[in-house]
């Protein structure tokens, strides 16, 4: 999962892109980058957090009224500076791109691009492949000035050859800004607009919070298989090129997105409130004796509030988060995750000692983080520790952009529910049911987005919406990801 923002405005956009990246920093902490355009491209990107990368001198060099920005969470590639986005190619015209998503046929496409299109991909990042596919699609048309139809033809080239999920933003030198979303709409993309006395300004982002923070009105979600082109006069053109379904990732609502975002017309905050209600029913059914409900900050807070209210016990923030430590789920290596848990959370003994504590977290993946948190609460004097997961058991690899590549990485595939509870040190474990999770995200509500066919729930049930995933692909992808994680681990050990 990565995050992006792109702005087409009437004045320099670098400062607003910087602010936008701060609002979506939670989507990626590995690297960040900004490209602006004023007749020339100006690019700054590096490893690290947004505040660490962009100083006043770098920001002053980022001039232009169009720009693309990105925060990276590595799913493909070794996660070094060479994989930081956005990416730039010089021909045709000069094109910049950034994306959120993941391709699972990267190796084949690299070979294809070299053999058939005479284009070399130099990084391990899949957006460079998308960029070169798009560029190849434009090159074949042999035009000097691009029309919307030329853009749509090039996007079709990407759709025909790229397999996976992707929401893409880009700029073409002297031509305009482009945005498109894969035909299944798995990864989010929202368009905003801002009216000025000169002309309408446009923005694209991974979450609505990036738009509203900058004063852009949320216009709509980019549709499955839709391409949008804003030409140099500021006129917007759009076309749904190839729609194969509408299957937004349900894990956005569980973990990745900020609670104040609305994605595909579904409120993340409201979804998490309802997740807590669903869990509360399970706690009541099991007749658990609970003194206090404590969330694992921050993504589980909203659910824990309604859970506590529905079972009639106190809600307390018994774990305090160090705001300067990143999200452990998206840390690039398991050893870093283990170390970060100890640095990230501190127990409030006053709220835990002698209590029967119900911990609420967004999910259980490997079990490493959960085990350490439960032990931390026990060490603070808790009499009992129950554990509730807002998500069902994670069981299947995700080739669409979540860093969970192999089945054996999931603790739920290695143990029964009772054994998982024992492995993580909980007195009792409660998982969310998948149907309850879907309902929590609004599936049966009157305000449900009727355009959505179904959520992508592949990480829970193995039903891949693209219908082109098989065991060989999963194994190949898993091996590739393990190799990359080993590289990261070796780099960390050298620091």
Question: How does DSSP classify residue 144?
Answer: S
29: CB partners within 8 A, 6+ apart = 49, 71, 73, 326, 327, 330, 331
3-class DSSP state of 427:
coil
Closest CA to 101 of 364, 394, 403, 362: 403
Active site residue 2: yes
What CA–CA distance (Å, rounded) separates 99 from 86?
A: 8
Q: Which helix (H) or strand (E) holds 217?
A: strand 217-221
Which pair of tokens denotes residue 107?
């190796």
**CA–CA gap between residue 252 and residue 240 (Å, rounded):** 24
**Residue tagged active-site, from 2, 125, 398, 459:** 2
Encoded tokens for 139: 């090159």
Instruction: Give the angle 216-39-148 at the CA atoms, nearest 5°.
Output: 65
* Distances, alpha carbon 42 to alpha carbons 35, 99, 261, in Å: 5, 18, 30
Tell me the pLDDT of the chain averaged across its residues. Answer: 91
Whether 121 contacts 113, CB under 8 Å: yes
How many degrees, rounded to 5, is the angle at CA 108 between CA 130 and CA 179?
Answer: 10
Segment 147-205, tens digit of pLDDT:
999 999 999 999 999 999 999 999 999 999 999 999 999 999 999 999 999 999 999 99
d(CA 112, CA 119) in angstroms, rounded, equals 9
Q: List residues bridging with 180 in a β-sheet.
A: 168, 227
- Which run of H or of E encompasses 18? helix 14-23
Q: pLDDT 10s digit of each residue in the chain, 495 long?
A: 699 999 999 999 999 999 999 999 999 999 999 999 999 999 999 999 999 999 999 999 999 999 999 999 865 555 578 889 999 999 999 999 999 999 989 989 999 999 999 999 999 899 999 999 999 999 999 999 999 999 999 999 999 999 999 999 999 999 999 999 999 999 999 999 999 999 999 999 999 999 999 999 999 999 999 999 999 999 999 999 999 999 999 999 999 999 999 999 999 999 999 999 999 999 999 999 999 999 999 899 999 999 999 999 999 999 998 877 655 554 555 555 555 666 789 999 999 999 999 999 999 999 999 999 999 999 999 999 999 999 999 999 988 987 765 788 899 999 999 999 999 999 999 999 999 999 999 977 767 889 999 999 999 999 999 988 888 777 766 666 555 554 444 443 333
- Decide if 253 contacts 442 (C-beta within 8 A): no
Rounded CA separation 374/371 (Å): 5
Q: What is the pLDDT of residues 89-144, one digit of tens each?
A: 999 999 999 999 999 899 899 999 999 999 999 998 999 999 999 999 999 999 99
pTM to 2 decimal places: 0.91
Residues 425 and 285 sit within 8 Å (Cβ to Cβ): no
Written as six digits, the tokens of 22 are 């701060």
Beta carbons within 8 Å of 382's beta carbon, 6+ residues apart: 352, 353, 354, 355, 356, 357
CATH numbers and ranges of domains, the chain = 3-246 (3.60.20.10), 271-441+470-494 (3.40.50.2020)
């Amino acid at each position: 999962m990565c995050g992006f923002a792109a702005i087409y405005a009437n004045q320099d956009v670098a400062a607003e892109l910087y602010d936008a990246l701060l609002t979506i920093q939670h989507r990626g902490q590995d690297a960040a980058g900004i490209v602006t355009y004023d007749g020339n491209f100006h690019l700054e990107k590096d490893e690290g957090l947004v505040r660490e990368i962009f100083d006043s001198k770098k920001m002053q060099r980022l001039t232009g009224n169009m720009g693309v920005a990105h925060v990276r969470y590595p799913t493909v590639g070794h996660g070094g500076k060479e994989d930081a986005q956005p990416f730039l190619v010089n021909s045709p015209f000069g094109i910049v791109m950034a994306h959120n998503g993941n391709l699972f046929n990267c190796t084949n496409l690299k070979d294809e691009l070299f053999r058939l299109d005479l284009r070399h991909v130099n990084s391990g990042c899949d957006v460079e492949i998308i960029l070169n596919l798009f560029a190849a699609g434009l090159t074949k048309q042999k035009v000097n000035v691009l029309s919307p139809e030329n853009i749509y033809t090039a996007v079709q080239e990407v759709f025909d050859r790229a397999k996976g999920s992707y929401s893409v933003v880009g700029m073409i030198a002297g031509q305009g800004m482009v945005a498109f979303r894969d035909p299944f709409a798995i990864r989010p993309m929202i368009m905003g607009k801002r009216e000025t006395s000169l002309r309408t300004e446009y923005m694209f982002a991974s979450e609505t919070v990036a738009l509203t923070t900058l004063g852009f009105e949320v216009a709509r979600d980019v549709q499955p298989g839709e391409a949008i082109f804003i030409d140099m006069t500021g006129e917007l053109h759009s076309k749904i090129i190839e729609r194969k379904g509408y299957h937004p990732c349900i894990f956005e609502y569980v973990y990745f997105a900020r609670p104040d975002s609305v994605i595909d017309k579904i409120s993340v905050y409201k979804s998490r409130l309802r997740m807590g209600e669903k869990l509360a029913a399970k706690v009541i059914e099991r007749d658990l004796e609970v003194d206090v409900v404590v969330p694992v900050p921050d993504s589980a807070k909203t659910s824990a509030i309604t859970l506590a209210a529905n079972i009639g016990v106190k809600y307390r923030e018994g774990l305090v988060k160090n705001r300067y430590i990143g999200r452990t789920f998206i840390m690039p290596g398991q050893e870093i995750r283990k170390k970060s848990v100890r640095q990230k959370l501190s127990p409030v003994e006053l709220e835990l000692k002698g209590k029967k504590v119900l911990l609420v977290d967004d999910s259980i993946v490997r079990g490493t983080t959960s085990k350490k948190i439960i032990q931390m609460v026990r060490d603070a004097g808790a009499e009992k520790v129950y554990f509730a997961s807002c998500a069902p058991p994670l069981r299947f690899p995700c080739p669409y952009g979540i860093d969970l590549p192999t089945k054996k990485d999931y603790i739920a595939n290695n143990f029964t529910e009772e054994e998982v509870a024992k492995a993580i040190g909980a007195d009792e474990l409660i998982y969310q049911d998948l149907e309850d999770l879907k309902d929590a995200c609004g599936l049966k509500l009157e305000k449900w987005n009727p355009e959505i066919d179904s959520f992508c729930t592949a990480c829970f049930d193995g039903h891949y919406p693209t219908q082109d995933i098989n065991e060989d692909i999963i194994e190949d992808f898993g091996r590739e990801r393990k190799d990359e994680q080993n590289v990261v681990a070796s780099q960390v050990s050298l620091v």
